[in-house]
Structure 1
Amino acid sequence: MSDRLKLGIVGINWRGSDIKPAIDATGLIDVTAICATRPDRLAEAAKTLGVEATYTDYDRFLDEADVDAVFLATPMELHVAQSVAAMERGIHVLCEVPAATDVEECRVLVDACQRSDAVFMIAEQYNYRREPAAIAAMAERGAFGDMYYAEGEFNQNIQSILDKTPWRRRWQVGVNGITYGPHSLGPVLMWMAGDRVTSVCCAGAGRRYRDGRGELLELEPAATMLCRTARGALVRVRCDLLSERPMGVHYQLQGTDGFYDRGDLWLRSRSADSEQSESLDAVAESFLPGEYLEAEAKCRTSGCACDDYLMLHDFVESVRRGEAVTLDIHQAMDMTLPGLVSQQSIAQHSAWVNVPDSREF
């Protein structure tokens, strides 16, 4: 591979094109081809992305396009089949979340990764945001002590786009439980490095909303999952895609020597009084690595999202150097499998259900 990664983008929705400024900012990527099922939008996308090679057939795209890697910004039910097809051809994969839509798909994807020399990375950009990154830096230094409780919430009302995106109607609100959990769980698992969810129970607030045809949606609002981890911690995950409210993403972390809650921070190493918290914003720069601060400055200048930039940079550098990616297949499974198993739990009246470990597939 040359110094620059030749990237093909699959899916030209807002995510497929929104990431272009971050791609340019890395200085390491050339977008050489795009693939989408709607020919009427390909020309516009090609112009936006500065690409000449366009495809509507994914297999043809993989066989003919000059690409080292693909970025899959496609509906979630396509992620496994498209990832497997790429890796079978030795093409690296950066895949949007979640990684799969059922447990059997997870087994198929893990098997494909084990058989291929190609890199697979899950595109969980929330792990690269300033708030989670700062807390991760503190946790790595042991600032929170023994971390035994955490929360992650992702709340976004998507009712207005269900008719335009049938896949969301089917897979995000047509299934009950946690259907879009990685944004909530990914940062928490990053803080609790080396831990994983071993069992879950899930409940919701009852079926209350209908789609544009008047059909009752399967997903219950305020879907909430409790997770037990291998190290004995408790994690609460909420993913609410229906409640009528502003979008909100919130995190909390509790340890024996500190806590974090929606911007408020207390660390024993900084204050003996746990009643006196301070703002994360006031201290984040003293914990964030220099590389992160440099990336922030670069992204401010280039006008791109820093989380996207850092995620892409990690992916490209791993491919170029032949090193393990930051968010590999097993971390992808650790973010994905609990939500899939929660769907079994909520169907069984919130019973606790064990979560398989992809390392043992």
Structure 2
Amino acid sequence: MTSNRRSFLRNVTLSTGAIAAGLPVLGKDLSAGKDVLSAYAGKAGFNMCGYAAPKIDKVRIGIIGLGNRGSGAVGRLSFIEGAEIVALCDNRPERIPLAQKTITDKGLPKAKEYTGEEGWKALCESGDIDFVYICTPWQLHTPMAVYAMKNGKHAASEVPIAVTVDECWQLVETSEKTKKHCMMLENTCYDFFELLTLNMARNGLFGELIHAEGAYIHDLLDSNFGKTSYSKMWRLRENEFRNGNLYPTHGLGPIAQCLDINRGDKMDHMVSMSSNDFMMGATAKEKAAEDPALYNEFVGKSYRGNMNTSIIRTYKGKTIMLQHDVTSPRPYSRLHLISGTKGVAQKYPEPERIAFGHEWIKPEELKALYDKYTPEIVRHVGDIAKKVGGHGGMDFMMDWRTIDCLRNGLPLDQDVYDGVLWSVIGPLSEQSVAKNSKTVNVPDFSRGNWKTNKPVNLTLEGGGNTTVREVKKG
């Protein structure tokens, strides 16, 4: 065993131990993850892209974390035939009864309950679960997904799936060794305009794609400083010690699919720049004046720059611009712009727009494109998804598609390489910002398989037979 490998394992062990003790694991590998890159980058593992796991007729699901995202997942998954929520876990037991009621109100069996700081481990160790669905704070995503896979479960995690380069490689190695799916739950890949533009790009309507833009611009200042928004204000604490794009995947996922990243092209290198903090430090002082007992600890911190802009260049010479700002008073935006040699599509600012020249097409022409290029999944469950809800229906389409793939033994739309690549922009942006916006290389988590991996399948071939329970109006 090399000294680099021993160093990596030691860091992972220390990190896991800290999490088990209820301690935050902060900024573990800002040095660029060189130990991990040298240990794993040249090793070819089992390729999980396109991997079809054995069929699971009834997918038995354990959900960890019953806050905003977890409680929503319980509601959505309970509508899907062939999906059975058999386990619920939260370290706050008072959250479990409401989730149970969501299940039993549909006439479904009550789920087994897990709680306490170690409850998630017991859930992952259970022999009657096929699929672990993780909706916890970011620092817990990788440890829980790894533990689930090592205990024979497929794993899916809310975004980002990892917060360090080390964690990204750990997820890749574990998924490849166990042959268990490891999916990041990037719901924006299932939004309606994003799916339309992906299908149009596949059909060549934009020509050769040249450039794409994505973002997460969402004013969360009040939520991050809210007393009850996030348990122990965990999301605000992320902003205390990390300066970069902390939440890259919502904007990046859909445009990466349009560019066939990991499936014909790869990210090569990037640079990142952050503004100063003009808002969070000031807000902490204001809050501390009102409630010093709660907010004094947040005064005087070196907070993340309010706006981060990162630029990525791909192997084939395409460019990607990503932005992150969750403090400024601006309208919500994920940008979602793809630009090619024949046309461009842009979602924000609303309304959605497409052009094949110097002027945006008319609304009736956009409708005609929807009629012709809306993918099969939207035609199949789009209307039901809008009724069930979850960010306008994209959450439900993501859940339905995932369960349908597991039931039919189909490859998942998002594999472990997608999840870690979209997430690794977080720690890589930190590294670039810390080095005065110097270039950093982007790891090839596929280790060369991007050259032959096939693009995401936009058909329901081999599946589409998963039904949905009746959705009552209102």
The verdict on a shared fold, with TM-score over 0.5 as the criterion, is yes
2:236 to 165, 169, 172: 169
AA matched with 2:95: R
- 2:375 maps to 289
Q: CA deviation at 1:126?
A: 0.2
| Gap change, CA 1:143 and 1:14, over 3 Å in 2 | same
- Among 329, 336, 340, the residue aligned to 2:423: 336
Q: Does the alignment pair 1:140 with 2:202?
A: yes
Task: Measure the CA separation in 1 of the matches of 2:386 and 2:247.
Answer: 29
Gaps of 5+ in 1: 268-272
76, 81, 97: which one aligns with 2:138: 76
Give the aligned length. 356
Query: TM-score, with normalisation over the residues of structure 2?
Result: 0.71
Q: Judge conservation of contact 1:153–1:184 (CA < 8 Å) in 2.
A: yes
Q: Which amino acid aligns with 1:240?
A: D
Match of 1:188 in 2: 255
In structure 2, the partner of 1:270 is none
Question: Which residue of the partner structure matches residue 315 of structure 2?
Answer: 230
Q: Report the equivalent of 1:219.
A: 304
Say whether the 8 Å CA contact 2:163–2:424 is kept in structure 1. no
Deviation at 1:310, TM superposition (A): 2.1
CA contact (8 A) 2:67 2:95 kept: no
Matches within 5 A, 1:336-355: 336-355=423-442
CA distance 1:227–1:173, shift in 2 (3 Å): farther
1:94 equivalent to 2:156? Answer: yes
CA contact (8 A) 1:123 1:311 kept: yes
What SS class does the counterpart of residue 239 from structure 1 fall into?
Answer: strand
Percent identity over paired residues: 26
- The 3 A distance-change label for structure 1 pair 127 and 300 is closer
Structure 2 residue 112 is the aligned partner of structure 1 residue 53: yes
RMSD: 2.1
Looking at structure 2, the residues matched to 239 and 130 of structure 1 have their Cα atoms a distance apart, in angstroms, of 22
Cα pair 1:119 1:319 within 8 Å, conserved: no
For the residues of structure 2 that align with 1:156 and 1:243, how far apart are their CA atoms? 8
2:358 corresponds to 1:265 = no
The correspondence for 1:30, drawn from 84, 87, 94, is: 84
1:108 corresponds to which of 146, 160, 170: 170
> 1:185 offset after TM fit, Å?
0.5
Q: Greater CA deviation, 299-308 or 62-71?
A: 299-308
- Residue 274 (structure 1) aligned with residue 358 (structure 2): yes
Q: Is the 8 A contact 1:121 1:315 kept in 2?
A: no
- Deviations 1:85-112 (Å, cap 9, x if unpaired)? 1011111111111111100111111111
Partner secondary structure for residue 204 of structure 2: coil
Aligned-partner SS, 2:148: helix
The 10-residue stretch of structure 1 (305-314 or 195-204) with the greater mean CA deviation from structure 2: 305-314
CA contact (8 A) 2:353 2:360 kept: no
Residues 70 and 94, structure 1, Cα contact 8 Å, conserved in 2: yes
TM-score where L is the length of structure 1: 0.92
Contact 1:197/1:338 (<8 A) preserved: no
Deviation per CA, 1:320-356: give whole Å up to 9, x if none.
Answer: 2333211000111221122321110011111111111
Q: Which sections of structure 2, spanning at least 5 residues, go unmatched?
A: 1-54, 105-109, 285-294, 449-474
Change (3 A) 1:52 1:334: closer
CA–CA separation in structure 2 for the residues paired with 1:197 and 1:53: 42
Secondary structure (helix, strand or coil) at the match of 2:79 reads helix
Shift of 1:129: 0.2
Matched, 1:160 2:199: no
Measure the CA separation in 2 of the matches of 1:131 and 1:243.
26
